[in-house]
Amino acid sequence: MWRVIADALGLIASGLLPRRQGLLRNGPRRWAVTLGLALILPVVLLYYWIGLWLDELLFRGYRRVAVARPVFILGVPRSGTTALHEALAEDRQFTTQRTWECLLAPAISHRHLWRGLARVDRRLGRPLRRLAGWLNRRWVAPLTDAHPMRLHAPEEDYLSLLPQLSAFILVVAFPDSDRLWRLGRGDIALADDERQRLMRQYRRVIQRHLYFHGAERTYLAKNASHATLAASLLEAFPDARFIACLRDPAEVVSSQLSSLGPGLRALHGPIRQDELTRRMLAQLQFGYRNLLSVLPARAGDRAVFLPLGAQRQGLAQAIRQVYAHLGLPLGTAFAERLDTLDAQARTHRSGHRHALTDYGLDGAQVAEAFADIRAAFNFAATEAIPAGQQTPLDHRLRVVVVSDAAPQRNGVGTYYSDLIAHLDTRVAAIRLIANGGEGPVIPHWHETALPGDATQSIALPSPIALRRAIANTAPEVVIVATPGPYGILAGLMARRLGARLIFGLHTDYEALAGLYWGRLRGAVNRVAMRGINRVLFRRAGVVVSNSAHMHQLAREKGARHAIRVNTPIPREFLETPLAPLQIPPRRILFVGRLAAEKRVNAIIEAAEAHPGLSFRIAGDGPLRDEVEAAAARLENLEYLGWLDRDRLRGVLDESDLLVLPSRVEAFGTVALESMVRGRLTLVSPGCGITDWPALADGLLVMDGEQTVAAALSGLLALPADELAARAETARERSAQMARQCIDEWLALIAP
């Protein structure tokens, strides 16, 4: 109940708060209509919830009703779902919801009430029925010209989710609600717990209906809007059967736009048509792709595609094919009725008129937007097509990565730069938006040096400019790489854009706070980071990390779904031939931020203790002056400065051993890069890379607080063949991890 109240307040707020890029125009009418709806909404919800509460008191047995092998008619809007639903509703093996049940009686107690009123109304000469007819003709019909509503007609049962404010039709009343638009891309835009909660609510809807009408019958549902929830339905109803109605996108786009327009304009006056067109195009694209990717891959033997041409060519024959494919019994009475239904379908002509030009579109634009969909499915087919015979559509999504770290500047920047390079050809589009990146220039409201490292900055970007930069890609997935101002704002914006949020937790900022901020400021910043993480964890569909420590931290901090993933490696590191390795190692390399937690001083001490070895330090940071002074003092120590990735590969190839002695290191990407180049790699136990058992045989790990100098002495005493085997194993295992990483991320992006 409290969640519904919060959602109701969110709907009202969406209408009252001005929006620059919304559908509604800001002004008195917007606020007046919203205030009027705000007065009506509590009354309607109270009516619904009284009935639902009574169900729990009087008819609680409905929860034990089994929903066995339901049949769901899905499809993009305006593709013949209504005609098919009305035909199948005449088959007595099915029970389906009627308009009056969906809108007026979602609860069992409501239905008993209205049945009683109907009996009284009949005895009084049906005054209530005549009033309902007048209201329908006067107020409802003008709003639903494309989809006429009759009280006893079979109807889309998603309307029964109105008590939970989870019916997409509410977008007509609250067109600027980000939550409702996320429902329109539910499988990808809703977090896992949101999808599961929605499916639990939907199951209760079906159980109530079966309890009232008879649990022995098969439940039949039709929802065009549930095309975007096909995967969720498969999870919630694993034995369900599906009929997916499809129609050429060129005919669907203008039809759907014209069906929403009258209701929006009747309530709100002129709307921003270009914004409605953009949103509906994105939603329709996702609906097609979701059906054509999910059903063939996951329900091939329990789903069938029904092109509109098959219904038009012969509804009776199409239904017989559907029944045969899905194993549905065809009773004698309904088989005889099919000929009459077929004749009615052949003579039916829709009065709904629409054209693409009415919405600033032309055929070429639509053809380009749906090119992959039209190539994947034969919309001109005149027969039902079993889903198992349809090749699953490679559903490639648009992805935006937002980071406060400049590309390749540190471990996080490097991780996502490498990931994007690998995914570039595996998704529809992937774009990096970062502080200091090469993408769009985003104005900063404030910028300050990173505490403890003046070579990097923390910047507060303009929220409007950042939102515009993200929205231009129209992403289905937003990956937030860091919990800085860029990441926080992007995490808050993801839902509003209807995108699924993935949060990358790669650094324990709470632990680092004490190193640079002192006791008081450190405590304040730890509290702040804890709050930021909680907000992002709640919003994220999944929290990813690449070390056991960060994974455990995510779970302890309240992440609903935390996953460990591997780490990517640039292609050049994997594909370029290896340089010879000298054993025992003579050339020692450190790469990283020159900061206290990296224990750079331990490298300098090792250079002093082993004058016969050659040491090189690469990186930048607050200890740069100390490193430069040591390099000037010691003949066997060279400072290289900060290196880009191409130069780094060359420097690794010129080395025999990489040393990473960090106190705090979420993973240690440079260690993996060293391994994949066939170098010996020595790390401290504080490096997250040691948490990966698959890499253990290729790594050399220091003992506790052991100094680098001491660790090198022990390493040099090892047999040469053992060190060579370590290097070879390191190369094989790290390359395997890099390949697995890409597969893992593809599964996260399109679960």
pLDDT of residue 258: 77
Query: Radius of gyration (Cα) for the chain, nearest Å?
Result: 31
CA 508, 477, 197, 277 dihedral sign is positive
Residue 458, SS3?
Answer: strand
Residue where one domain finishes, among candidates 389, 406, 428: 389
DSSP state of 237: -
Q: Which two tokens stand for residue 326?
A: 């899905």
Would you say residue 418 lies in a domain? yes
CB 605, CB 598: distance < 8 Å: no
pLDDT: which is higher, 47 or 130: 47
Going by pLDDT thresholds of 50, 70 and 90, the confidence category of residue 520 is low
Q: How confident is the model at residue 146 (pLDDT cuts 50, 70, 90)?
A: very low
> For the ranges 137-141, 202-206, 405-409, 701-705, which has the lowest average pLDDT?
137-141
The answer as to whether 47 is a domain residue is yes
The C-alpha torsion from 19 through 21 and 22 to 25, rounded to 10°, is 70
Answer yes or no: are the C-beta atoms of 509 and 502 closer than 8 Å: no
Q: Could you tell me if 478 and 540 lie in one domain?
A: yes
Residue 342 domain-assigned? yes
Domain boundary among 368, 389, 410: 389
Q: What is the dihedral of CA 209, 214, 217, 223, to 10 degrees?
A: -10
pTM: 0.72
Non-local CB neighbours of 358 within 8 Å, separated by 6+ positions: 254, 257, 258
Give the C-alpha separation, 584 to 36, whole Å. Answer: 81
Is 749 part of a structural domain of the chain? no
The whole-number average pLDDT for the span 76-91 is 89
- The pLDDT value given to residue 509: 62
Return the number of other C-beta atoms located less than 10 Å from residue 736's C-beta.
Answer: 14
Question: Among 335, 369, 389, which residue terminates a domain?
Answer: 389
Span of 428-442, 445-459, 477-491 with lowest mean pLDDT: 445-459
DSSP-derived secondary structure for 362-414: -HHHHHHHTHHHHHHS-TT--S-EEGGGSPPP--PPEEEEEESSPTTTSHHHH
440 within some domain = yes
pLDDT of res. 368: 85
Alpha helices in 540-644 (DSSP H): 548-556, 571-575, 600-609, 624-633
What is the average per-residue pLDDT within 646-669? Answer: 89
Residues 535/536/540/546 CA torsion (nearest 10 deg): -140
Are 447 and 355 in the same domain? no
Nearest Cα neighbor of 206 from 277, 346, 102, 126 is 102
Are 455 and 309 in a shared domain?
no
In a shared domain, residues 705 and 660:
yes
One domain, residues 115 and 227: yes
Number of neighbours of residue 46 by Cβ within 10 angstroms: 10
The answer to whether 680 and 581 have CB atoms below 8 angstroms apart is yes
Q: Is residue 751 part of a domain?
A: no
* Residues contacting residue 351 through CB under 8 Å, at least 6 positions apart: none
Both 154 and 210 in one domain: the answer is yes
Do residue 484 and residue 595 come from a single domain? Answer: no
Token pair recorded at residue 671: 């260690």
Whether residues 552 and 507 share a domain: the answer is yes
**pLDDT tens track for 239-275:** 999 999 999 988 888 777 777 777 888 888 888 888 8
Predicted pLDDT at 160: 93
- Give the 3-state secondary structure of residue 691: helix
Cis before residue 440, ω within 30 degrees of 0?
A: no
Residue type for position 670: V
Helix (H, G, I), strand (E, B) or coil at 154: strand
**Of residues 495, 494, 482, the one with CA closest to residue 450:** 482
Task: Say which DSSP state 450 is in.
Answer: E
Residues 453 and 592 in one domain: no
Residue 423 in domain: yes
* CATH of residue 637: 3.40.50.2000
Q: Rounded distance, CA 181 to CA 210, Å?
A: 30
Whether 38 is covered by a domain: the verdict is yes
Question: Mean pLDDT throughout 190-219?
Answer: 92
- In this structure, the answer to whether residues 172 and 313 fall within a common structural domain is yes
Element (H, E) at 446: strand 444-450
Handedness of CA 195, 200, 203, 205 (dihedral sign): negative
Structural domain span for residue 72: 2-389
User: Is the Cβ–Cβ distance between 268 and 30 less than 8 Å?
Assistant: yes
For the chain, count helices (H), then strands (E): 31, 20
Average pLDDT, whole number, for the chain?
Answer: 85
Same-domain status, 263 and 381: yes
Q: How many domains does the chain have?
A: 3
Nearest to 427 by CA among 379, 473, 483: 473
Span 659-696, pLDDT tens digits: 999 987 878 889 989 999 999 999 998 888 888 888 88
Q: What is the CATH number of the domain that holds 286?
A: 3.40.50.300
73/223 Cα distance (integer angstroms): 6
Average pLDDT over residues 124-152: 64
Whether residue 376 is found in the same domain as residue 472: no
